[in-house]
Amino acid sequence: MQNTKPVVPIRSVLIFGGAGFIGSNWAHRLLQNSAARVHIFDNLSRRGVHHNLEWLQKHAASRDRLQITVGDIRNASQVQKAVQFATEIYHFAAQVAVTTSVEDPQFDFDVNVCGTVNILEAARRTNRHPFLLFTSTNKVYGNFCSTTPRGTSLRFDCKAGDCVSETQPLDFHSPYGCSKGAADQYVRDYARIFNLPTVVFRMSCIAGPRQFGTEDQGWVAHFLYSALQDNPVTLYGDGRQVRDVLYIQDLLRAIEKVRAQARKTAGEVYNVGGGLGNSVSLLELMREVEVLTGRRVLYSHKPVRPGDQPVYVTDYSKLKQHVGWQPSANVQQILVNIHEWWEQNQSLFVAPGIDDPIAAPQFVHAPGVAV
């Protein structure tokens, strides 16, 4: 009798927002460490994303394994077409700024809520129940501090009992908190009602190489790049606000673990972040940047923005208990790694057109790219 090997199904991975910081790092990890076919779906609206696509095309082991679609998650027909063959879906596409949501709540809603429902509906209609991971935010918990916390001249106090678990009641502040929170709940409910194996990550601050940090997203990289380029930063509040920072590669390990144990993790919501050991205030981070670079961080103050929590530090014990995950890199190492990447890629920060990320014509007709 002839021995036959079991057929291993091909992983067909679709990444919405795949040209962004998290998406491009996840795509690279898959291309380097798996046999998965990777399909990136992105509208190229974020600063620097066309550089990420160039990087991925360079590192793709085979061009047949990397497909790029320039599209918008608000377009249901584009989303449906992209989803039809996916066995795994990673939803990183979003409107990401609280400030933008306050200026244009309708746009924020259309992207974060309607776009997410488009993806969920497309996945449901395949009748193949693809694994789906959605990245939510700590902003769904709102400003849960009723009074200003106590602290030192550098930071507000935070101890282990203050870390935020998934039992913290939802309390959306700002249109951004509302839209991400609504999307978060839709993703969770599609697991319960339609048996889609979905997972929600409510994330704290993610940082690492390939992050084109801005004031509204990626503040760790933003502070570092600003110091390196002698650009001032704005502190909203007194700078004692505390956040926990998670290294991008640690986040990718968490994604791998929940996908590998989908039978256990399907339908779950996890708080994901660096935890108490990786907590840092804005003022403390500026000191770390100054030690690393030998340059002062220039800054000014403005009033606190809507929905800005004085302290947010993740309790990731549920994720640790379910899949055995915990962070590995500390804040200092994360800064070193971002600094090393910046030194090797300084041209990306001064190249003409980097502030016009929508203009990326070299991809419109490139091999493996659909529009």
Total tally of structural domains belonging to the chain: 1
Q: What is the pLDDT of residue 45?
A: 87
261-275 tens-digit pLDDT: 999 999 999 999 999
Q: Quick check: is 3 in a domain?
A: no
Is 158:128 a contact under the CB 8 Å cutoff? no
Look at 70-79, 136-145, 206-215, 218-227 and tell me which has the smallest mean pLDDT.
136-145
**312 an active-site residue?**
no
Q: Does any domain span residue 2?
A: no
Residue 152 lies in a domain: yes
Q: Which helix (H) or strand (E) holds 36?
A: none
By the 8 A CB rule, do 360 and 44 touch? yes
Per residue in 248-306, pLDDT tens?
999 999 999 999 999 999 999 999 999 999 999 999 999 999 999 999 999 999 998 87
> 234 lies in which domain range?
12-370
Distance CA 163, CA 175 (A): 24
Residue 4 included in any domain: no
Pair type for strands 268-272 and 198-203 = parallel
0.85 exceeded by pTM: yes
Residue 62's pLDDT is 66
Q: Are 274 and 108 in contact (CB under 8 A)?
A: no
Position 370 scores a pLDDT of 43
What's 64's domain CATH number? 3.40.50.720
Query: Per the domain annotation, does 323 fall within a domain?
Result: yes
The answer to the question of residue 1 being in a domain is no
Average pLDDT over residues 78-92: 97
Q: Quote the DSSP letter at residue 350.
A: T
Residue 86 lies in a domain: yes
Q: Which of 90, 141, 176, 247 is catalytic?
A: 176
Identify which of 33, 24, 25 has the alpha carbon closest to the alpha carbon of residue 68. Answer: 24
Distance CA 371, CA 369 (A): 7
130 part of a folded domain: yes
